[in-house]
Amino acid sequence: SEMCIRDRYQRRVHGALMKGKKVYDPPRFMSCQVAAEQLIEAEDVLQKGAYSRKTMCYGLGRIGQSDQVIVSGCLEDFVSKIEIGPPLHSFVICAEEIHPIEEEMIKYWALKQ
């Protein structure tokens, strides 16, 4: 499996951007949903075939805390069906070929419909 680490990101303040100034919004933590949206958009634009909307992924939230969340699903599910809750999130993209134990864990952590 490969891991995509999405940590914090900043956006330039629109008004400052128009004036050519480098002023940024305060940093925010990226959610699994935003990471999935951006990955889908990047693949739609670049069409590199690195992954698809059906690529299996894991979303993890607040690991080690009493309210931790671990969910597996396909990339597009993280956009519309899977909610991890408040930060901090980690997002893991699985390789095409995975070990049988990894397959079992995907089923174990799958979103319960």
Residue-wise pLDDT for 23-71, tens only, equals 776 767 889 999 999 999 999 999 999 999 999 999 999 999 999 999 9
Q: Is the model more confident about 87 or about 14?
A: 87
Q: At 56, which helix (H) or strand (E)?
A: strand 56-61
Structure tokens at 21: 């100034």
Helix (H) or strand (E) holding 14: helix 14-18
| pTM, 2 dp | 0.75
Report the candidate in 44, 62, 64 with the shortest Cα–Cα distance to residue 53: 44
What type of residue is 88? L
Judging by DSSP bridges, how do beta strands 89-93 and 56-61 pair with one another?
antiparallel
30: left (phi over 0), alpha (psi -120 to 50) or beta: beta
From CA 78, how far away is CA 85, in angstroms rounded? 12
